[in-house]
Structure 1
Amino acid sequence: MKFVTLASAAALALALASPATAQKRPAAPAPAAAKPGGPTAADWRTPDPDDILVIDTNKGRIIVELVPEVAPLFTARVRELAKEHFYDGHTFFRVIEDFMDQTGDPENRGTGGSSKPELKAEFLFRRGADLPFAMAQDQSVAEVGFIKSVPVSTQSMMLAPMTRDGKVNGYVLYCPGVAGAARGEDENSANSQFFLMRAAFPKLERRYTAFGRVISGQDVVTSIKVGEPVPDPQDRMERVRILSDIPENERPKIRVINPAGAWFKAEIARAIAAGGANFTACDVNIPAEVK
C-alpha cells in the first residue's frame, strides 16, 4: 500500500498550504520548565509512564505525552511500534520551518509505513462529564481548554444532556508541540508516520488525528534540519521508547503541571490578560520538569 507523504497530495493542498500563504496562529511559547518559586507540589501531576514517548535524536531528547483520551487508536499504535523498536533509526525526512517535523517512515521519504493495518481517522473525540477538562474559555457554544497537556476545543457541555451518550464532540488545537498522525489522501490511512508541530497551524484541525504533545524538548523539535525533502544527512530518531519500558535506573523522572491546579488557572488568567482579543489556548504555558 503506497502512503502519500503529509501534504504531498493535491487534494490536501488547501489543508496544508505553504506556511507563507496559509492562515495560522502566531507561534506561541513552547512547554517549558517552571521557574523556581512557581507552582507548588500540589500543582504538579505525574503522567502515566505508559503514555510517555521518549525520543532520543541526534539533536537531543524529545518527550511526548500520549493522550489516548483524544486518539485511542493512534496512541495504541505508537506505543506498540515503540515497544517493537520500529521507530529506531528513522529520520526526519520532511521538515518545514514554522510548521512541522515529519518522521516514522521506514523508507525515510514519506511513502512507507508499518505492516500493520491502516487506522480510522480520529479527528474528533467525545467529551463526557467524567473526562478531566481544564476550562480556558467559555465561548457559549464552545469551550476551549486542556485535557492533560493537549489544548482542545469542544462543544458546550450544555448540549450533553441532549445527546444519546451524554457527551459532546471535541478536537485538538494544533499548537506548538502537538503531535499528529500523517496520512494519505484517504482520511482513514494513518499508519506509523507522525509529525511534531514547530508552530501553531489551525488548518490541520479536524483534518489530521492529533494524539499528544511535546512536554519537553520543543527546542530540539525546532532545531531539526529543515528541508522538503531534507537533504542528507537527515536528523534521525536514534531510539524511541515508552517510559515504562526504560530500566528504572535509566528512567527520567517526569512531572507536568496539573491543569486542575490553582497555578494553572492563574496561568490561564495571565495569558488571557496578556493576549486580550487575540488570546488562544496556544498562549498558555504548560511547564514540565524532567530529571
Structure 2
Amino acid sequence: MRRLAPSLLGLSLLCALALPAAMAAESGKTPSPKELLDHAKPEEWRSPDPQNIVVMQLPQGRVVIELAPDFTPRHAENIRTLVRGHYFDGLAIIRVQDNFVTQWGDPEDDDKGDKSKLRSLGKASKTLPPEYTRPIDDKLPWTALPDGDVYAPEVGFSEGFPVARDKTTGQEWLTHCYGAVGVARDVGPETGSGSSLYAIIGQAPRGLDRNLAVAGRVLQGMEFLSAFPRGTGALGFYEKPEQRTTIRSVTLLADMPAAQRPKLQVLRTDSPTFAALIEAKRNRHDDFYTVPAGKIDLCSINVPVRDAK
C-alpha cells in the first residue's frame, strides 16, 4: 500500500487542518462528517483486495468483513480456506452477549454440543500459532492518534484498522474496537483456528487485546450483527436450536461473480480527509456541542466506507 513521504504527510496534515478551519470560518460551525467526505478526493479512497473480503449472507441482510493478513496472516489464510470449503454455510449465530459480542460457528462446538457431529474443517488447520501481536513494520501505513491511550503507549490506524503499539517491545497489534472480528478459542492459545468468529457489538473490550487474535473488521452489516436477540444462556449462548439464526452462505468477494460483488471503498486512514474527520470530532463545535472534548479515543473513530461510484 502506498505511503506518503514525510514531507507530503506533513503537508497533508496541514491541509487536513486547513479544510475544517476554512469550512468553520464560513459557517461558524465544525463541518459535519458528510461535508468533509463530500470534499474527499478520489485518491483518498481505496478498494480493498477481493481476496481479503468475506461476504456473509444472513436472512436479515449482508455482512461484509475485511480480513487483516498483514497482522494475522495465518488466521486470514485459514479463514479463506474455511470459506472456500463452504464450512460456514448453514452454520449459525450461536451467541449474542449484550454489550459484548455476536459469535458464529458450529453449534455442536458448544460445551453442550455433540462433538461427534462437528462439521469437518476440510483442508483448514485445526490449530494455529497465536497471532496476538506482530513486530512493528515501518513499511505499513501508520497514522498516529496523539491523544493518548489507557491500554498502550501508542495508538493509531494502519490500513483502516485501529492499531496499538509498544516501541519498547517492538510489537503492534489490532485492537478490540466496535466492529472488530476476532478468533474465538479455548484456553490453549493455539486453539483459535477461525472456525468460530465473533464481532464486537458493544463498548470496546480492550482488555482482550493481545489475548485473542483479531482477524479483521466489519465494513458493512453491523446493524444486523448488533440487533440479534441476546442469548439467555451463560455468556449469551443460545440454549435452544430455534433461537439461533442460520447463516445462508459465506463467500470470498474474489470468488463471487463480478455482477454480484458489493463494490465498496474505504477511506484511507493516511489521507488528509481522515485527519480532518478526527480533528473535527476532537474539537466539534456547533449549536448542540458548545464544549469541545479536545481529545478523542481510538475506538470512537469509525473509518468511513462507501459504495463505489
**Superposition TM-score tier, normalisation by shorter sequence:** 0.7 to 0.9
SS in 2 for 1:219: helix
Is 1:252 equivalent to 2:257 in the alignment? no
Are 2:95 and 2:103, in contact at CA under 8 Å, matched by a contact in 1?
yes
SS in 1 for 2:299: helix
Q: Could you say if the C-alpha distance between residues 105 and 266 of structure 1 is closer, same or farther in structure 2, counting changes exceeding 3 Å?
A: same
Q: Which moved more, 1:42-51 or 1:264-273?
A: 264-273
How many pairs does the alignment contain?
250
Distance in 1, Cα, partners of 2:74 & 2:294: 36
Counterpart position of 1:173: 175
The sequence identity of aligned pairs, in percent, is 26
Are 1:91 and 1:108, in contact at CA under 8 Å, matched by a contact in 2?
no
Is 1:237 equivalent to 2:239 in the alignment? no
Are 1:43 and 1:263, in contact at CA under 8 Å, matched by a contact in 2?
yes
Query: Where does the alignment leave 5 or more consecutive residues of structure 1 unmatched?
Result: 1-32
Distance in 2, Cα, partners of 1:242 & 1:53: 5
How far residue 281 of structure 1 moved from its aligned partner, in angstroms, is 0.8
Distance in 2, Cα, partners of 1:34 & 1:284: 15
Once the two structures are superposed, what CA deviation does each residue of 1:204-256 show, in whole Å capped at 9, x if it has no partner? 11111001100111111112232022242311221101100001111111111
Q: Which moved more, 1:48-57 or 1:114-123?
A: 114-123
1:202 corresponds, among 202, 206, 217, to 206
Is 1:150 equivalent to 2:153 in the alignment? no
1:136 corresponds, among 120, 132, 145, to 145
Q: What is the one-letter code of the residue matched to 2:142?
A: F
Counterpart position of 1:289: 306
**Larger fraction in helix:** 2
Counterpart position of 2:129: 120
Q: Could you say if the C-alpha distance between residues 203 and 142 of structure 1 is closer, same or farther in structure 2, counting changes exceeding 3 Å?
A: closer
Q: What is the one-letter code of the residue matched to 2:135?
A: R
Is 1:268 equivalent to 2:270 in the alignment? no
Distance in 1, Cα, partners of 2:74 & 2:107: 20
Are 2:283 and 2:294, in contact at CA under 8 Å, matched by a contact in 1?
no
Q: Could you say if the C-alpha distance between residues 278 and 188 of structure 1 is closer, same or farther in structure 2, counting changes exceeding 3 Å?
A: farther
Q: Could you say if the C-alpha distance between residues 34 and 208 of structure 1 is closer, same or farther in structure 2, counting changes exceeding 3 Å?
A: farther
Are 1:123 and 1:208, in contact at CA under 8 Å, matched by a contact in 2?
yes
Q: Which moved more, 1:226-235 or 1:242-251?
A: 226-235
SS in 1 for 2:282: helix
Are 2:83 and 2:252, in contact at CA under 8 Å, matched by a contact in 1?
yes
Are 1:89 and 1:239, in contact at CA under 8 Å, matched by a contact in 2?
yes
Aligned-residue CA RMSD (Å)? 2.4
Counterpart position of 1:65: 66
Counterpart position of 1:222: 226
Bigger radius of gyration, 1 or 2? 2
Are 2:162 and 2:175, in contact at CA under 8 Å, matched by a contact in 1?
yes
Q: What is the one-letter code of the residue matched to 2:296?
A: F
Q: Could you say if the C-alpha distance between residues 277 and 206 of structure 1 is closer, same or farther in structure 2, counting changes exceeding 3 Å?
A: farther
Once the two structures are superposed, what CA deviation does each residue of 1:117-160 show, in whole Å capped at 9, x if it has no partner? 3111111111221111222227598321112222111124xx6x
Are 1:96 and 1:226, in contact at CA under 8 Å, matched by a contact in 2?
yes
Is 1:183 equivalent to 2:191 in the alignment? no
Once the two structures are superposed, what CA deviation does each residue of 1:168-215 show, in whole Å capped at 9, x if it has no partner? 201221111000000001111112111011021112111110011001
Distance in 2, Cα, partners of 1:207 & 1:136: 23
Distance in 2, Cα, partners of 1:121 & 1:59: 33
Distance in 1, Cα, partners of 2:131 & 2:91: 24
SS in 1 for 2:99: coil
TM-score computed with the length of structure 1 as normaliser: 0.79
SS in 1 for 2:260: coil
How far residue 279 of structure 1 moved from its aligned partner, in angstroms, is 2.7
Are 2:143 and 2:269, in contact at CA under 8 Å, matched by a contact in 1?
yes
